[in-house]
Amino acid sequence: MAGTSAVHPGALSMLKIIFSSEDILRTRVAPAADPLWELVLSLHLLQGRGRDPMMTTWRRAVAQGLRADNGAEHYRLLLALNPPRGYFPDFLTPSASKDGIEAGLEAVRGTPRGMLRRDLTMLAAETPLPPSATALVRGEPEVLQNLTDSMARYQSLAVTPYWARVQAAVEADRARRARAMLDGGAEGLLASLRPAMRWGGGVLEVLDYPDSRELHLDGRGLLLVPSFFCSRTPVALVDPTLPPVLVYPVDRLGGLTPGNGAARDGAGQGEALAALLGRTRAAVLQVADEGCTTGEMARRLRISAAAASQHTTVLRNAGLLVSHRDRNTVLHTLTPLGRAVLDA
Protein backbone atom coordinates (compact mmCIF):
# COMPACT_ATOMS: atom_id res chain seq x y z
CA MET A 1 0.00 0.00 0.00
CA ALA A 2 1.89 1.19 -1.72
CA GLY A 3 1.06 -0.59 1.26
CA THR A 4 1.53 -0.42 4.88
CA SER A 5 4.85 -1.22 6.39
CA ALA A 6 3.54 -1.95 9.85
CA VAL A 7 0.71 -4.04 11.25
CA HIS A 8 -1.86 -2.61 13.61
CA PRO A 9 -1.96 -4.68 16.82
CA GLY A 10 -4.65 -7.31 16.79
CA ALA A 11 -5.24 -7.12 13.05
CA LEU A 12 -7.09 -10.15 11.72
CA SER A 13 -7.42 -9.09 8.11
CA MET A 14 -5.50 -10.52 5.18
CA LEU A 15 -4.56 -9.87 1.59
CA LYS A 16 -5.68 -12.60 -0.81
CA ILE A 17 -3.77 -12.83 -4.09
CA ILE A 18 -5.75 -14.81 -6.65
CA PHE A 19 -3.76 -16.87 -9.18
CA SER A 20 -4.76 -18.56 -12.39
CA SER A 21 -2.61 -21.39 -13.76
CA GLU A 22 -1.03 -18.83 -16.09
CA ASP A 23 -0.22 -16.54 -13.14
CA ILE A 24 1.54 -19.38 -11.34
CA LEU A 25 3.79 -19.92 -14.37
CA ARG A 26 4.57 -16.19 -14.56
CA THR A 27 5.50 -15.81 -10.90
CA ARG A 28 9.15 -14.95 -10.38
CA VAL A 29 11.58 -13.51 -7.83
CA ALA A 30 13.28 -10.16 -8.40
CA PRO A 31 16.90 -10.60 -9.53
CA ALA A 32 18.35 -8.36 -6.80
CA ALA A 33 17.51 -5.95 -4.00
CA ASP A 34 15.35 -3.09 -5.31
CA PRO A 35 16.97 0.25 -4.37
CA LEU A 36 13.77 2.32 -4.15
CA TRP A 37 11.84 -0.27 -2.18
CA GLU A 38 14.76 -0.51 0.25
CA LEU A 39 14.94 3.29 0.48
CA VAL A 40 11.22 3.73 1.16
CA LEU A 41 10.89 0.84 3.61
CA SER A 42 13.97 1.98 5.52
CA LEU A 43 12.22 5.32 6.06
CA HIS A 44 9.35 3.47 7.70
CA LEU A 45 11.70 1.56 9.97
CA LEU A 46 13.56 4.74 10.83
CA GLN A 47 10.40 6.49 12.00
CA GLY A 48 8.75 3.46 13.58
CA ARG A 49 8.75 2.35 17.16
CA GLY A 50 10.15 -1.10 16.62
CA ARG A 51 12.84 -2.28 19.00
CA ASP A 52 14.62 -4.73 16.72
CA PRO A 53 18.13 -4.89 18.24
CA MET A 54 19.61 -5.56 14.80
CA MET A 55 18.48 -2.15 13.64
CA THR A 56 19.28 -0.09 16.74
CA THR A 57 22.78 0.93 15.65
CA TRP A 58 21.58 1.70 12.12
CA ARG A 59 18.65 3.80 13.32
CA ARG A 60 20.86 5.79 15.69
CA ALA A 61 23.52 6.41 13.03
CA VAL A 62 20.99 7.48 10.40
CA ALA A 63 19.13 9.77 12.80
CA GLN A 64 22.40 11.47 13.72
CA GLY A 65 23.30 11.81 10.06
CA LEU A 66 19.96 13.41 9.23
CA ARG A 67 20.33 15.92 12.04
CA ALA A 68 23.81 16.81 10.88
CA ASP A 69 22.47 17.21 7.34
CA ASN A 70 19.74 19.65 8.41
CA GLY A 71 17.13 16.91 8.17
CA ALA A 72 14.07 19.04 8.85
CA GLU A 73 14.92 21.18 5.84
CA HIS A 74 16.05 18.60 3.29
CA TYR A 75 13.80 15.66 4.15
CA ARG A 76 10.52 17.22 5.35
CA LEU A 77 8.47 16.19 2.31
CA LEU A 78 10.15 12.78 1.94
CA LEU A 79 9.45 11.89 5.57
CA ALA A 80 5.85 13.09 5.31
CA LEU A 81 5.27 10.88 2.27
CA ASN A 82 6.49 7.85 4.19
CA PRO A 83 4.75 7.61 7.57
CA PRO A 84 5.76 4.65 9.75
CA ARG A 85 2.23 3.23 9.56
CA GLY A 86 -0.53 3.24 7.02
CA TYR A 87 -0.65 4.10 3.37
CA PHE A 88 2.32 5.42 1.38
CA PRO A 89 2.25 6.40 -2.31
CA ASP A 90 2.66 3.86 -5.09
CA PHE A 91 4.58 6.35 -7.26
CA LEU A 92 7.61 6.24 -4.93
CA THR A 93 8.42 2.65 -5.93
CA PRO A 94 8.18 2.47 -9.76
CA SER A 95 9.04 -0.78 -11.51
CA ALA A 96 11.89 1.04 -13.29
CA SER A 97 13.94 0.91 -10.09
CA LYS A 98 14.79 -2.70 -10.88
CA ASP A 99 17.31 -1.16 -13.31
CA GLY A 100 18.98 0.86 -10.57
CA ILE A 101 18.51 3.90 -8.38
CA GLU A 102 18.96 6.46 -11.18
CA ALA A 103 16.36 4.77 -13.40
CA GLY A 104 13.97 4.65 -10.46
CA LEU A 105 14.42 8.31 -9.58
CA GLU A 106 13.93 9.29 -13.21
CA ALA A 107 10.63 7.39 -13.19
CA VAL A 108 9.56 9.21 -10.01
CA ARG A 109 10.28 12.55 -11.68
CA GLY A 110 8.14 11.47 -14.63
CA THR A 111 5.12 10.40 -12.57
CA PRO A 112 1.86 11.37 -14.36
CA ARG A 113 -0.14 14.11 -12.63
CA GLY A 114 -3.18 11.87 -12.34
CA MET A 115 -1.20 9.33 -10.32
CA LEU A 116 0.29 12.06 -8.13
CA ARG A 117 -3.17 13.46 -7.43
CA ARG A 118 -4.65 10.07 -6.63
CA ASP A 119 -1.80 8.91 -4.39
CA LEU A 120 -1.46 12.16 -2.47
CA THR A 121 -5.22 12.49 -1.98
CA MET A 122 -5.24 9.03 -0.39
CA LEU A 123 -2.25 9.91 1.77
CA ALA A 124 -3.69 13.27 2.89
CA ALA A 125 -6.77 11.46 4.19
CA GLU A 126 -4.55 9.73 6.77
CA THR A 127 -1.46 11.92 7.21
CA PRO A 128 -0.91 15.71 7.48
CA LEU A 129 1.22 16.91 4.56
CA PRO A 130 3.52 19.96 4.34
CA PRO A 131 2.71 22.89 2.00
CA SER A 132 5.14 21.59 -0.63
CA ALA A 133 2.79 18.63 -1.22
CA THR A 134 0.34 21.01 -2.93
CA ALA A 135 2.92 21.81 -5.61
CA LEU A 136 3.73 18.10 -5.84
CA VAL A 137 0.08 17.31 -6.60
CA ARG A 138 0.34 19.70 -9.55
CA GLY A 139 3.40 17.82 -10.77
CA GLU A 140 5.66 20.88 -10.68
CA PRO A 141 9.04 19.74 -12.05
CA GLU A 142 11.04 21.69 -9.46
CA VAL A 143 9.26 19.99 -6.57
CA LEU A 144 9.67 16.54 -8.16
CA GLN A 145 13.37 17.29 -8.68
CA ASN A 146 13.75 18.38 -5.06
CA LEU A 147 11.97 15.23 -3.90
CA THR A 148 14.24 12.91 -5.88
CA ASP A 149 17.28 14.91 -4.77
CA SER A 150 16.30 14.29 -1.16
CA MET A 151 15.72 10.60 -1.96
CA ALA A 152 19.21 10.32 -3.45
CA ARG A 153 20.67 12.20 -0.50
CA TYR A 154 18.92 9.95 1.99
CA GLN A 155 19.96 6.84 0.05
CA SER A 156 23.63 7.79 0.28
CA LEU A 157 23.31 8.34 4.01
CA ALA A 158 21.03 5.53 5.16
CA VAL A 159 21.21 2.71 2.60
CA THR A 160 24.36 2.84 0.45
CA PRO A 161 26.83 2.32 3.35
CA TYR A 162 24.98 -0.89 4.22
CA TRP A 163 24.27 -2.08 0.68
CA ALA A 164 26.59 -5.08 0.81
CA ARG A 165 24.71 -6.44 3.82
CA VAL A 166 21.40 -5.78 2.08
CA GLN A 167 22.58 -7.59 -1.05
CA ALA A 168 23.91 -10.54 0.97
CA ALA A 169 20.61 -11.03 2.79
CA VAL A 170 18.56 -10.74 -0.40
CA GLU A 171 20.86 -13.09 -2.31
CA ALA A 172 20.62 -15.65 0.50
CA ASP A 173 16.84 -15.48 0.31
CA ARG A 174 16.92 -15.85 -3.47
CA ALA A 175 18.96 -19.02 -3.03
CA ARG A 176 16.24 -20.38 -0.74
CA ARG A 177 13.53 -19.55 -3.25
CA ALA A 178 15.51 -21.04 -6.14
CA ARG A 179 15.89 -24.24 -4.19
CA ALA A 180 12.16 -24.30 -3.44
CA MET A 181 11.45 -23.78 -7.14
CA LEU A 182 13.76 -26.62 -8.15
CA ASP A 183 12.21 -28.96 -5.61
CA GLY A 184 8.54 -28.04 -6.07
CA GLY A 185 8.12 -25.79 -9.11
CA ALA A 186 6.33 -22.45 -8.88
CA GLU A 187 3.89 -23.82 -6.31
CA GLY A 188 6.83 -24.94 -4.20
CA LEU A 189 8.19 -21.41 -4.42
CA LEU A 190 4.89 -19.94 -3.22
CA ALA A 191 4.61 -22.51 -0.43
CA SER A 192 8.11 -21.58 0.78
CA LEU A 193 6.87 -18.12 1.82
CA ARG A 194 5.40 -19.45 5.06
CA PRO A 195 4.78 -18.56 7.87
CA ALA A 196 3.89 -14.95 6.96
CA MET A 197 1.96 -16.24 3.94
CA ARG A 198 -0.12 -19.30 3.21
CA TRP A 199 -0.47 -20.93 -0.23
CA GLY A 200 -3.26 -23.23 -1.31
CA GLY A 201 -6.01 -23.64 -3.87
CA GLY A 202 -4.62 -20.98 -6.19
CA VAL A 203 -4.66 -18.31 -3.48
CA LEU A 204 -1.72 -16.77 -1.65
CA GLU A 205 -2.93 -15.40 1.68
CA VAL A 206 -0.81 -12.69 3.29
CA LEU A 207 -1.66 -13.05 6.95
CA ASP A 208 -2.12 -10.19 9.45
CA TYR A 209 -2.41 -7.68 6.64
CA PRO A 210 -3.59 -4.21 7.70
CA ASP A 211 -6.72 -4.36 5.55
CA SER A 212 -8.77 -7.08 3.89
CA ARG A 213 -8.73 -7.05 0.11
CA GLU A 214 -8.19 -9.24 -2.92
CA LEU A 215 -5.66 -8.82 -5.70
CA HIS A 216 -6.55 -10.62 -8.94
CA LEU A 217 -3.46 -11.14 -11.07
CA ASP A 218 -5.46 -11.70 -14.27
CA GLY A 219 -2.67 -13.50 -16.12
CA ARG A 220 0.05 -10.97 -15.28
CA GLY A 221 1.88 -13.15 -12.77
CA LEU A 222 3.45 -11.87 -9.58
CA LEU A 223 6.88 -10.38 -8.94
CA LEU A 224 8.17 -11.36 -5.52
CA VAL A 225 10.64 -8.79 -4.17
CA PRO A 226 12.76 -9.89 -1.20
CA SER A 227 13.60 -6.87 0.96
CA PHE A 228 16.02 -6.25 3.80
CA PHE A 229 14.23 -3.22 5.22
CA CYS A 230 10.71 -4.63 4.93
CA SER A 231 9.21 -5.25 8.36
CA ARG A 232 7.50 -8.53 9.14
CA THR A 233 4.45 -7.64 7.04
CA PRO A 234 4.69 -8.07 3.25
CA VAL A 235 3.68 -5.07 1.13
CA ALA A 236 1.65 -4.82 -2.10
CA LEU A 237 0.79 -1.86 -4.29
CA VAL A 238 -2.70 -0.39 -3.91
CA ASP A 239 -3.37 0.36 -7.58
CA PRO A 240 -4.59 -2.92 -9.15
CA THR A 241 -3.66 -1.70 -12.63
CA LEU A 242 0.06 -1.54 -11.82
CA PRO A 243 2.26 -4.61 -12.41
CA PRO A 244 1.57 -6.90 -9.42
CA VAL A 245 4.35 -6.83 -6.84
CA LEU A 246 4.65 -8.37 -3.39
CA VAL A 247 7.56 -7.20 -1.27
CA TYR A 248 8.40 -9.49 1.64
CA PRO A 249 10.99 -9.45 4.45
CA VAL A 250 14.18 -11.50 4.42
CA ASP A 251 16.25 -12.67 7.35
CA ARG A 252 18.67 -9.87 8.16
CA LEU A 253 21.61 -12.19 8.92
CA GLY A 254 22.97 -10.36 11.94
CA GLY A 255 23.57 -6.76 12.91
CA LEU A 256 23.71 -3.94 10.37
CA THR A 257 27.06 -2.19 10.10
CA PRO A 258 28.55 -0.13 7.28
CA GLY A 259 31.19 -1.66 5.05
CA ASN A 260 31.51 -4.92 3.21
CA GLY A 261 28.60 -6.70 4.86
CA ALA A 262 30.42 -8.63 7.56
CA ALA A 263 29.06 -7.72 10.96
CA ARG A 264 32.49 -7.48 12.52
CA ASP A 265 35.10 -4.80 13.03
CA GLY A 266 38.19 -4.74 10.85
CA ALA A 267 40.49 -6.45 13.33
CA GLY A 268 37.98 -9.21 14.08
CA GLN A 269 37.41 -9.82 10.41
CA GLY A 270 41.14 -10.01 9.74
CA GLU A 271 41.50 -12.68 12.40
CA ALA A 272 38.62 -14.64 10.93
CA LEU A 273 39.99 -14.39 7.39
CA ALA A 274 43.34 -15.69 8.62
CA ALA A 275 41.51 -18.83 9.76
CA LEU A 276 40.39 -19.56 6.20
CA LEU A 277 43.72 -20.94 5.01
CA GLY A 278 43.43 -24.52 3.88
CA ARG A 279 42.06 -26.58 0.99
CA THR A 280 38.98 -27.86 2.79
CA ARG A 281 37.59 -24.42 3.54
CA ALA A 282 38.30 -23.32 -0.01
CA ALA A 283 36.28 -26.33 -1.18
CA VAL A 284 33.48 -25.43 1.24
CA LEU A 285 33.42 -21.95 -0.27
CA GLN A 286 33.16 -23.44 -3.76
CA VAL A 287 30.27 -25.79 -3.04
CA ALA A 288 28.38 -22.96 -1.28
CA ASP A 289 28.46 -20.89 -4.46
CA GLU A 290 25.02 -22.07 -5.59
CA GLY A 291 23.65 -22.80 -2.12
CA CYS A 292 24.30 -25.98 -0.20
CA THR A 293 23.02 -27.56 3.01
CA THR A 294 25.39 -28.84 5.69
CA GLY A 295 24.53 -32.43 4.87
CA GLU A 296 25.06 -31.96 1.14
CA MET A 297 28.37 -30.26 1.80
CA ALA A 298 29.53 -33.13 3.97
CA ARG A 299 28.59 -35.71 1.31
CA ARG A 300 30.15 -33.81 -1.58
CA LEU A 301 33.41 -33.14 0.24
CA ARG A 302 33.46 -36.52 2.02
CA ILE A 303 33.82 -34.99 5.45
CA SER A 304 31.71 -35.41 8.57
CA ALA A 305 28.67 -33.21 9.18
CA ALA A 306 30.40 -31.86 12.29
CA ALA A 307 33.44 -30.84 10.23
CA ALA A 308 31.25 -29.20 7.61
CA SER A 309 29.44 -27.27 10.33
CA GLN A 310 32.74 -26.14 11.85
CA HIS A 311 34.09 -24.89 8.51
CA THR A 312 30.89 -23.02 7.66
CA THR A 313 30.98 -21.34 11.07
CA VAL A 314 34.46 -19.99 10.40
CA LEU A 315 33.45 -18.79 6.94
CA ARG A 316 30.27 -17.21 8.28
CA ASN A 317 32.15 -15.38 11.05
CA ALA A 318 34.49 -13.98 8.40
CA GLY A 319 31.54 -12.59 6.47
CA LEU A 320 31.95 -14.95 3.50
CA LEU A 321 28.87 -17.13 4.05
CA VAL A 322 25.34 -16.64 5.31
CA SER A 323 23.34 -19.50 6.77
CA HIS A 324 19.59 -19.89 6.99
CA ARG A 325 17.79 -22.58 8.96
CA ASP A 326 14.60 -24.01 7.47
CA ARG A 327 13.12 -26.69 9.70
CA ASN A 328 15.79 -29.39 10.00
CA THR A 329 18.26 -28.12 7.41
CA VAL A 330 20.68 -25.20 7.22
CA LEU A 331 21.32 -23.67 3.77
CA HIS A 332 24.65 -21.88 3.23
CA THR A 333 25.20 -19.29 0.48
CA LEU A 334 27.98 -16.85 -0.37
CA THR A 335 27.95 -13.19 0.52
CA PRO A 336 29.26 -10.68 -2.06
CA LEU A 337 32.57 -10.74 -0.18
CA GLY A 338 32.64 -14.53 -0.29
CA ARG A 339 32.05 -14.52 -4.03
CA ALA A 340 34.83 -11.98 -4.49
CA VAL A 341 37.23 -14.18 -2.49
CA LEU A 342 36.20 -17.23 -4.50
CA ASP A 343 36.68 -15.38 -7.80
CA ALA A 344 40.08 -14.21 -6.70
When mean pLDDT is compared across 9-18, 97-106, 185-194, 264-273, the lowest value belongs to 264-273
What mean pLDDT is predicted for residues 86-113? 96
**Cα dist from 66 to 48, 150, 333, whole Å:** 16, 11, 34
The vertex-155 CA angle with 149 and 160, nearest 5°, equals 140
Please, how many CA atoms are within 13 Å of residue 14, restricted to the half-sphere of its CB?
12
How much is the pLDDT for 327?
A: 77
pLDDT tens-place string over residues 131-154? 999 999 999 999 999 999 999 999
Of 2, 145, 134, 133, give the one whose Cα is nearest residue 79: 133
Cα–Cα distance, 268 to 258 (Å, whole number)? 15
pLDDT tens-place string over residues 164-210? 889 888 988 998 899 899 889 999 999 999 989 999 999 999 998 98
pLDDT tens-place string over residues 244-295? 999 999 987 655 656 544 444 444 444 554 566 588 888 898 888 878 899 9
Give me the helix-helix angle, 35-47 and 53-68, nearest 10°.
Answer: 90
How much is the pLDDT for 271?
A: 54
Cα–Cα distance, 81 to 92 (Å, whole number)? 9
Measured from the Cβ of residue 63, the count of other Cβ atoms closer than 10 Å reads 14
Residue 71 — pLDDT band, cuts 50, 70, 90?
Answer: low
Q: Let me know if 32 is exposed, middle or buried by CB neighbors in 10 A (0-12, 13-18, 19+).
A: middle
What mean pLDDT is predicted for residues 84-111? 95
